[in-house]
Structure formats: structure tokens, C-alpha cells
Amino acid sequence: MEFKDYYKVMGVARDATEAQIKQAYRRLARKYHPDVSKEKDAEARFKELGEAYEVLRNPEKRAAYDQLGSGPRPGEDWRPPPDWGAGFEFTEAGPGGPQADYSDFFETLFGAARGGAGRRGGRRAAGRGEDHHARVMLDLDASLEGGSRTLTLRMPELDAEGHLVMKERTLAVQVPKGILPGQTIRLAGQGSRAGESPPGDLYIEVEFQPHPFYRLEGRDLYLDLPVTPSEAALGATVKCPTPAGAVDLKIPAGARAGTKLRLRERGMPSRPPGDLYAVPVITLPEQINEQARAAFRTLAEAQPFNPRAHLGV
Amino acid sequence: MASSAERFLAGEIFEESTSLSVADLCRICGIDERQIEELLEEGVISVTAIETSERRFSGAAVRRTRIAVRLQRDLGINLPGAALALDLLEEIEQLRRRRPV
């Protein structure tokens, strides 16, 4: 089992005062809170932090933990001492921390002291199972097409002895077309069961991975649409992808970089639908051949101008 | 013959399809009525409709309520602080979506 150095996790000395521990927790919690932080491992770090704080802020748990010393040498496996827990009484009814799943290390040391009774979480309405909440990362296409996706969720569950365990659960879900990031899919009856009573609901909050070329802004989609210099100068009708398939888009003559061409109701297929904005990006071929060079030289002579005049140079 | 599509659970978009009572919001978010009043006062959530003299909320209130509750509990901040953080988080999120890095 992996030994957890809770002092190291919290970045405090082994003789830190209660006030110092609290301060360290607040500072790190702001940094790694999953609702606030965009650090990649924020959720894992926050869990570890909550667990460390749970032990170090509680004088009884801290004293018991301190008895273990500073853990095994690097690479060595850690086992709890055979007389672990004797003489200590953990009075606090279950973890009050922000998460439900603790490490094996924590569970081995303090898990037994925590029955099902002290369980944190949403209150249970009489005669109804508990609601569950989860967050998933989807590809944008799932929402654009309203496709079905197989989701793997980790859910806390109580085992037969009342211990909290994490169970993996795989669900095949029809993603509602046009769902936006931050919105929630409700699956009625997919929460916990409480005996014979009706089960709770499952709420899945949706986020999207970045799409290869669409950017999402509210319900609207933005697309950088490469155009040739002559298409931009002379105007042209070009193919433009939209979530509902390619369309012909008219580029007005003299289209400037950054112009937004709106395709009404071609954005997210929500209710009401969003718009799609194609932003022309003037693009040169990878290699300019001699004939084109000559043409560009002629062009430069035909209409010399200073596009940087507004920059004062 | 059952088509494969039938084996998928059909979800609904909670924010759009739902009208919640105060009691619903309390149950889903695990809070009490007094806290709902505080959230309303602070402008974290707002009433979207009144049906037969009862206040109704959209599903969007659930997410804001849950985040506000988590921020208060985990960061030791008060409700006005959580409300401010929530607004700033949403603004950051919008900016980030506009220009992904």
C-alpha cells in the first residue's frame, strides 16, 4: 500500500500548528478546487488535499497518524502496524471533507471508524433513493448530431457493511441534440435505490473537448475559414462546413481578415438554434510558384498601399 | 426486432425541460429552504416563473446552487464571496471558449 505523507501534501512542517494547517488548506483548496482550477490534475490534488486535511485537522487522527512516523523508505511497501488504532478513538462521525472516495491508505487507517451513519452528502428524501451527480467530457459531435455515447462514471456506493466504495458504472446514453456545455442530462431513475422505494435520478453535467475547427460561444459556433487572396479580393462562392453538412457560402468581394460571415441558425442545434460565424482567413499556398510571384509583383505595383497606416508606421 | 438505439438511455436536457419547485431544488441540491432564500437574495439564482402562486426555477439553478454550496463548504467563504466567484468563473469560461489555447 502506498504511504501518504499528509504533511508533504499540505506543504507544512510536522510540528505545524492548527492555524498553519488551516491556512495551508485554504490556500491549496483555492488553487486546486475542481470548480475553480483548470490545472489538469486539480481533481486528484484536491482529493488528496481533502484527505490530508481530514487527518491533520483532527487532533485524534493526527496523533494516531504521527505515530506511524514518516513512512517507509522510497520504493518500500507500507503496511499498517498490527496494533494500529488501539488506544485511539475517532469521534468524528465520518469525513466532513469535500469528497467521498479516500485512498486505500486512509481507508485502512480511519475507514473502520466511519460507519454508514456518518455519511455526508445530500439528504435523503423520505421514501426515495438518492440522486447522483456526475460530470463527463464529450466530443462536440455528440451534441451536434445528438449521438449515443457510452459513458463510464465513477460513483460512490455503500457496500454491505456500510463502507463507502467507488464503483465504476458504464451507461449507454442518448445525448440530447444541441446540449450546451454546463448543461445537464437528467436520467430519471438512474440514481441510488433505497430498498423498495423509487430510485433517485442521475444528473450528468456535460463539458466538451475542443473541436478541431469549431469554437463554441454560447449557442454560436465560430469557424476560421481559409480563403485564397483572390477569393477575398474578388469575392467567390466557396464550400463551408456546417454541423448539418457543407453549404455554399458567398464571400463578398473585398472581404477583410476578421470579417464575420453569419450563417443563420447553422450553429448549435439547440432550442433556439445558434448561428454559425465563418471568419475568412486569407491564406497563401504553401509554395508560391514563379508565375504567381510575377502576378503578385504586378499586383503590388497596381495598387500600392500601406495597411499599417493606422499603427502610425 | 429491437433496434440497437432502444438500449440507449434517452436523456433530457435538464436546464431546458425542467420547472422546479423550491422543494425540488432543496432535494436535488441537498439544502434547506432558508438557504434558497439566501441564494435568491444574493442573486445566485433567480425565479424563472410563478405557477399557481408558487415560485419555479429552471434546471440551470441546480448547477449554480451546487457550485455555490461547494465553494462555501470547501473554501470557507461566505455566500457573497461564492456568488462573486461564480460570476467570475462564468466569465472566464466564456472567454476561454471564445479563444481556446
Provide mean pLDDT across the span B42-60: 88
CB-defined contacts A:B, below 8 A: 101
Query: A215–B99: do the CB atoms touch at under 8 Å?
Result: yes
Rounded CA-CA distance A44/A53 in Å is 14
CATH of the domain at B47: 1.10.1660.10
Flag whether B2 is in a domain.
Answer: no
The ipTM (two decimal places) reads 0.71
Which triple of cell numbers denotes residue A15?
510540528
Full domain range(s) for residue B58: 14-98
Position A140 pLDDT exceeds 90: yes
**Which of A174, A182, A271 minimises the CB distance to B11?**
A174
Flag whether B9 is in a domain.
Answer: no
pLDDT digits 0-9 by tens, A194-249: 677 788 888 888 989 889 999 998 899 999 999 999 999 999 999 999 999 999 99
Percent of chain A exceeding pLDDT 90 equals 42
Query: B14–A185: do the CB atoms touch at under 8 Å?
Result: yes
Rounded CA-CA distance B88/B67 in Å is 13
Same domain for A107 and A155? no
Same domain for A167 and A265? no
Flag whether A51 is in a domain.
Answer: yes
* Neighbouring C-beta atoms of residue A49, cutoff 10 Å: 25
Query: B14–A183: do the CB atoms touch at under 8 Å?
Result: yes
Structural Rg of chain A based on CA atoms: 29
On chain B, the residues whose CB falls within 8 A of the CB of A210 are: 100
Backbone angles phi, psi at A98, to 5 degrees: -80, -10
Query: A174–B10: do the CB atoms touch at under 8 Å?
Result: yes
Flag whether A312 is in a domain.
Answer: no
Element (H, E) at A152: strand A148-158
CATH of the domain at A139: 2.60.260.20
Flag whether B8 is in a domain.
Answer: no
Flag whether B7 is in a domain.
Answer: no
Number of domains in chain A: 3
Flag whether B6 is in a domain.
Answer: no
Number of domains in chain B: 1
Flag whether A311 is in a domain.
Answer: no
pLDDT digits 0-9 by tens, A40-99: 788 888 989 999 998 999 888 898 888 887 776 666 777 777 666 555 555 444 444 444
Q: Which of A66, A85, A113 is the last residue of a domain?
A: A113
pLDDT digits 0-9 by tens, A246-273: 999 999 999 887 789 999 999 999 988 9
What's the pLDDT at A99? 44
**Among residues A111, A93, A122, A116, which one has the least CA distance to residue A51?**
A111
Rounded CA-CA distance A147/A308 in Å is 48
CATH of the domain at A56: 1.10.287.110
Flag whether B76 is in a domain.
Answer: yes
Flag whether B69 is in a domain.
Answer: yes
Which residues of A touch chain B, with CB atoms under 8 Å apart? 26, 29-30, 33, 35-36, 38, 46, 50, 98, 121-123, 125, 131, 133, 148, 171-176, 178-179, 181-187, 190, 201, 203-205, 210, 215-218, 222, 270-271
Which triple of cell numbers denotes residue A234?
474578388
Rounded CA-CA distance A8/B45 in Å is 39
Longest CA–CA span in chain A (Å) reads: 93
Element (H, E) at A233: helix A229-234
Model pTM score? 0.66
Full domain range(s) for residue A278: 214-302
